[in-house]
């Protein structure tokens, strides 16, 4: 959540003049999206979100992200749709940063999703995967095995400060994952960051999915494994099999998971836990104390990794 | 700007059930108000702001603040109006904190106000002062002379770390202000924190004034002195007499400043500069590095204080 860059009224006026979306009536920085600056825009016609892309998003990736949102929206996935200016352009420059105006989605994120929400999330995730199959652009997952190894090397043993033995344990896990990571599962566009704050609900139905700035091409079941970690653990650290089963059932109701995808879930869940453990560790040791963002607890994902390491079959998830 | 407290969907639903304002369609934390957590609420009928009062706002002061906003709105000042629930109540408890829903104001804050905006601000300030005269509640200004002396004592010489000699200089200034502070100028309800981020504009007109959580009873001209400091210095530190003149003319167009108020402005401006210097110094040395708020630069107000100390007559402001 953040607003890193401020936008002057002059810049806003100049921006809005390029569009045919009405007269600006409101602009407020909003606490949404960790990586970018986001503003709620009201005009006399509708509501929008203005996003300024900060340095963690590579400008070269923006055509993929914005194109994907437009493609998904056209294929029935409720997600922010980039708005074209009068000349047809989506990407702008505001306050010296790449920027885009997207549509405003109804609904709001749930801090405490229930099993019914996990079912709805599963269906939405499968629909996103199906719609993504026809998207023509590609983006490698920079945060898969090779990326994890880079992060691990950059950490250079620092993790031991948080928990003795953690570096050795991560090193061994990386070796296992490198050896056993599945190669032939169905792949396509994945969201790759579908945490509860990126899913809006209205009347217990998914009203929208936001924040596609980690989206990439990877194994579809890996996206489900990310959700398993992000949605199915309780604040007391317990794994909630009812939620996991609901998530899987919801997914299967739209796209039936293949037996080999199900079989791979424990390993994919370990990979997903390691991915967030590593990025959180990196941020933990590299975010200046004076920074504007709250650092997320790496230990949460350390414990999730340990949990999945003890899982032998998908049956342990309640499947 | 901040969201200190998160609100669950369950809490939101329970809150909205108390009101007759429609069904919730959106909720977003917004970057508005330094002291509290603020959320944009959309319903199928209108837009609102939900404010959760954090620890810097004393619950005992809330009837004054909320009552004032309602009183001002009823008297033609465009400001957030507290919304009453079905039982007539305004003050609620959300996530363990005092909370209120207020109306949503059109417009947006200007980062670079121009002289025409200063004129509009002056008029709005005078209208606020006039409307406040009939408000029956009272609240002492905790950040006037006695409050400054307390803050100065609490700092105990720390200011010298930022600028050698600053503690001695502040001590001398406090003595001067204590001796010369005017006693018999017109008083009433003042906003006391009317910085550019608390004033919304639409088509160069003031569309609303927000953030009344420093409002109190004090000298009306002191509020104008606060605006002089907050609106009439340029980023390069120069005092802009054109803006100051516009501010005064705007004020006079609604409520004519008495000659003795004008005469007192240089001293009131010194007091106002000292007030923000002291609170910024206090925050500078007492905000933990890990805190979520950006600390504001005390030196900006140190330089403003120095500027006003050299002013002999209001003529120096371009009046």
- Name the residue ranges covered by the structural domains of chain B: 9-104, 109-317
Mutation site, B14, B15, B28, B113, interface A, largest A CB count within 10 A: B28
Give the tens place of pLDDT for each residue, B161-213.
999 999 999 999 999 999 999 999 999 999 999 999 999 999 999 999 999 99
Distance CA B82, CA B50 (A): 10
Vertex B315 angle, CA B313 and B319, to 5°: 135
Give the chain A residue whose CA is nearest to the CA of B111: A8
| DSSP reduced 3-state for B7 | coil
Q: State yes or no: pLDDT of A294 exceeds 80.
A: no
Domain B9-104 and domain B109-317, same fold? Reply is: no
Contacts of B51 in chain A (CB under 8 A): none
Looking at residues B38-67, what average pLDDT do you find?
94
Give the tens place of pLDDT for each residue, B262-279.
999 999 999 999 999 999
Do A103 and A121 form a contact (C-beta atoms < 8 A)? no
Cβ-defined contact of A292 to B292 (cutoff 8 Å): yes
Mutation site, A9, A202, A205, interface B, largest B CB count within 10 A: A9
Query: Could you report how far apart the first and last alpha carbons of chain A are, in Å?
Result: 35
Q: What is the pLDDT of residue A33?
A: 67
User: Class of the B109-317 domain?
Assistant: alpha beta
Q: State yes or no: pLDDT of B4 exceeds 80.
A: no
For chain A, what's the residue count? Answer: 319
Q: State yes or no: pLDDT of B82 exceeds 90.
A: yes
Closest CB to A28: pick one of B7, B25, B32: B32
Q: What is the pLDDT of residue A5?
A: 82
SS (H, E, C) A140-156: ECCCCHHHHHHHHHHHC
Q: What is the pLDDT of residue B286?
A: 86
Q: How far is B296 from chain A (nearest CA, A)?
A: 13
Contacts of B290 in chain A (CB under 8 A): 289
Do B53 and B93 form a contact (C-beta atoms < 8 A)? no
Cβ-defined contact of A9 to B294 (cutoff 8 Å): no
In angstroms, what CA-CA distances link B198 with A166, B206, B294? 48, 11, 17
Give the tens place of pLDDT for each residue, A106-126.
999 998 999 999 999 999 999
Q: State yes or no: pLDDT of B1 exceeds 50.
A: no
Q: State yes or no: pLDDT of A166 exceeds 50.
A: yes
Which structure tokens are listed for A159? 């993790």
Of the pLDDT bands very low, low, confident and very high (cuts 50, 70, 90), residue B56 is: confident
Q: What is the pLDDT of residue A229?
A: 98
Average pLDDT, chain A: 94
Q: State yes or no: pLDDT of A74 exceeds 60.
A: yes
Looking at residues A267-282, what average pLDDT do you find?
97
Closest CB to A30: pick one of B40, B290, B294: B40
Q: What is the pLDDT of residue B308?
A: 97
Cβ-defined contact of B294 to A292 (cutoff 8 Å): yes
Kindly give the interhelix angle for A145-155 and A166-180, rounded to the nearest 10 degrees.
Answer: 160
Residue with tokens 């708020």: B293
Closest CB to B289: pick one of A1, A30, A290: A290
Cβ-defined contact of A31 to B107 (cutoff 8 Å): no
Contacts of B7 in chain A (CB under 8 A): 111
Q: State yes or no: pLDDT of B290 exceeds 70.
A: no
Average pLDDT, chain B: 94
Q: State yes or no: pLDDT of A70 exceeds 50.
A: yes
Contacts of B28 in chain A (CB under 8 A): 30-32, 40, 108
User: Class of the A9-104 domain?
Assistant: alpha beta
Looking at residues A230-259, what average pLDDT do you find?
97
Taking one residue from A and the other from B, the number of pairs with CB-CB distance under 8 angstroms is: 83
Q: State yes or no: pLDDT of A2 exceeds 70.
A: no
Looking at residues B22-33, what average pLDDT do you find?
88
Of the pLDDT bands very low, low, confident and very high (cuts 50, 70, 90), residue B292 is: low
Looking at residues B26-50, what average pLDDT do you find?
90
Mutation site, A7, A28, A102, A292, interface B, largest B CB count within 10 A: A28
Q: How many CB atoms lie within 10 A of CB B149?
A: 15
Distance CA A157, CA A172 (A): 13
Contacts of A31 in chain B (CB under 8 A): 3, 28-31
Q: What is the pLDDT of residue B2?
A: 54
Closest CB to B25: pick one of A25, A29, A202: A202
Contacts of A235 in chain B (CB under 8 A): none
Do B254 and B130 form a contact (C-beta atoms < 8 A)? yes
Give the tens place of pLDDT for each residue, B239-253.
999 999 999 999 999
Distance CA A248, CA A258 (A): 12
Residue among A120, A270, A87 at smallest CA distance from A202: A120
């Amino acid at each position: 959540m953040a607003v890193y860059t401020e936008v002057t009224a002059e810049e806003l006026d100049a921006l809005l003049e390029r569009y045919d979306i009405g007269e600006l009536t409101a602009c407020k920085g909003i606490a949404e999206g960790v990586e970018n600056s986001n503003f709620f825009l009201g005009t006399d016609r509708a509501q929008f979100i203005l996003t300024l892309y900060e340095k963690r998003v590579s400008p070269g990736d923006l055509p993929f992200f914005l194109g994907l949102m437009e493609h998904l929206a056209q294929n029935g996935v409720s997600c922010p749709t980039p708005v074209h200016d009068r000349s047809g352009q989506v990407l702008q420059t505001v306050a010296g940063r790449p920027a885009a105006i997207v549509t405003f989605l109804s609904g709001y994120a749930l801090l405490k999703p229930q099993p019914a929400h996990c079912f709805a999330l599963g269906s939405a995730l499968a629909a996103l995967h199906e719609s993504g199959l026809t998207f023509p652009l590609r983006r490698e997952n920079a945060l898969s095995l090779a990326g994890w190894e880079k992060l691990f090397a950059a950490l250079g043993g620092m993790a031991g400060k948080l928990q003795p033995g953690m570096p050795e344990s991560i090193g061994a896990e990386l070796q296992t994952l490198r050896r056993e990571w599945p190669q032939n599962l169905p792949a396509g566009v994945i969201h790759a960051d579908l945490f509860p704050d990126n899913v809006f609900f209205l009347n217990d139905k998914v009203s929208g999915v936001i924040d596609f700035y980690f989206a990439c091409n990877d194994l579809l079941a890996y996206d489900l494994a990310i959700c398993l970690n992000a949605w199915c653990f309780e604040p007391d650290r317990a794994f909630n099999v009812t939620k996991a089963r609901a998530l899987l059932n919801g997914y299967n109701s739209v796209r039936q998971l293949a037996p080999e995808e199900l079989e791979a879930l424990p390993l994919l869940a370990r990979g997903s836990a390691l991915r967030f453990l590593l990025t959180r560790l990196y941020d933990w040791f590299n975010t200046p104390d004076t920074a504007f963002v709250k650092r997320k607890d790496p230990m949460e994902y350390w414990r999730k990794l340990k949990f999945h390491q003890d899982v032998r079959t998908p049956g342990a998830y309640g499947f």
